[in-house]
């Protein structure tokens, strides 16, 4: 379906996402079992995950890889990853994992998964806290909240109990997302800073996906 978001055709936004991918890179297989949450500056729903990158958005997110998760055959089990991005401008990635093999696998996975969102400006180790109740009420911290602190809550669907779900989206890692709200978020690392409040959030507490990145 063709449409417009902030005056930009949806078809153009979808192409913007693809344009940042490296056409010479051979895709690597992944299996992801775990959970994720993200929050951004957009009103709900943010189009970046649905149809393509929206310039001007700012956001953060985090992933927890459980047993059975792998990238290019290497286990990512137990690794956590967080990120911050201004799509089309920059991406910064944080990794939390004591096991070197899983650490390196998560680093490679994160770099590939976030490639469409802009130039990678840094990858560094950090302490990542990830707490949720399985229904979209999440708290994520990087370095105890000094770098990042995200709080989100779910958006209830028509039954008044479970979250609104959107499936078949343009993201192979989490093709289904549940809608939430970013209650609050602060991010500050070197020259990158922003705050979020009462804006879009997505989450999936039970990802079970596979494909190529």
pLDDT in tens, 25-57: 689 999 999 999 999 999 888 887 777 776 679
Q: In whole angstroms, what is the distance from residue 152 CA to residue 32 CA?
A: 22
Q: Give CA 37 to chain center in angstroms.
A: 6
Question: What's the CA angle centered on 60, arms 187 and 12, to 5 degrees?
Answer: 125
- Over range 165-182, report the average pLDDT: 94
pLDDT band at 22 (very low <50, low <70, confident <90, very high): low
Burial code (b: 16+ CB inside 10 Å, e: under 16) for 26-45 equals: eeeebbbbbbbbbbbbbeeb
Q: In whole angstroms, what is the distance from residue 59 CA to residue 70 CA?
A: 25
Rounded to two decimals, what is the model's pTM?
0.87
Q: In whole angstroms, what is the distance from residue 209 CA to residue 201 CA?
A: 20
Taking a C-beta distance cutoff of 8 angstroms, is the pair 3, 9 a contact?
A: yes
pLDDT at residue 26, as a whole number: 84
User: pLDDT digits over 102-154, tens only?
Assistant: 999 999 999 999 998 899 999 999 999 999 988 889 999 999 999 999 999 99
Q: With 0-12 CB in 10 A as exposed, 13-18 as middle and 19+ as buried, what is 98?
A: exposed
Question: What's the CA angle centered on 36, arms 16 and 191, to 5 degrees?
Answer: 60
Taking a C-beta distance cutoff of 8 angstroms, is the pair 62, 84 a contact?
A: no
Q: Which residues pair with 34 in a beta bridge?
A: 65, 207
User: pLDDT digits over 83-105, tens only?
Assistant: 999 999 999 999 999 999 999 99
What tokens appear for 41 in the block?
């500056």
Find, among 188, 192, 174, 191, the residue nearest to 38 by Cα.
Answer: 174
Taking a C-beta distance cutoff of 8 angstroms, is the pair 28, 105 a contact?
A: no
pLDDT at residue 23, as a whole number: 54
pLDDT at residue 136, as a whole number: 80
Question: What's the CA angle centered on 106, arms 176 and 126, to 5 degrees?
Answer: 105
Residues sharing a CB contact under 8 Å with residue 2, sequence separation 6 or more, in sequence order: 9, 10, 11
3-state DSSP assignment of residue 210? strand
3-state DSSP assignment of residue 14? helix
């Amino acid at each position: 379906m063709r449409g417009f978001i902030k005056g930009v055709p949806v078809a153009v936004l979808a192409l913007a996402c693809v344009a940042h991918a490296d056409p010479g890179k051979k895709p690597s297989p992944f299996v992801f079992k775990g959970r994720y949450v993200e929050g951004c500056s957009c009103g709900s729903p943010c189009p970046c995950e649905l149809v393509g990158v929206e310039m001007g958005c700012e956001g953060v997110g985090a992933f927890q890889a459980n047993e059975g998760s792998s990238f290019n055959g290497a286990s990512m089990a137990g690794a956590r990853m967080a990120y911050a991005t201004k799509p089309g401008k920059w991406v910064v990635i944080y990794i939390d994992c004591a096991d070197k093999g899983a650490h390196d696998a998560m680093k490679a996975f994160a770099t590939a998964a976030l490639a469409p969102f802009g130039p990678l400006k840094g990858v560094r180790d950090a302490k990542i806290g990830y707490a949720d109740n399985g229904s979209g009420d999440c708290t994520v911290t990087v370095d105890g909240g000094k770098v990042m602190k995200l709080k989100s809550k779910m958006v209830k669907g028509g039954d008044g109990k479970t979250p609104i779900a959107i499936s078949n989206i343009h993201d192979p890692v989490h093709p289904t997302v549940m809608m939430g709200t970013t209650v609050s978020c602060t991010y500050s690392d070197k020259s990158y800073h922003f705050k979020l409040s009462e804006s879009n959030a997505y989450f999936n507490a039970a990802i079970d996906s596979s494909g190529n990145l």
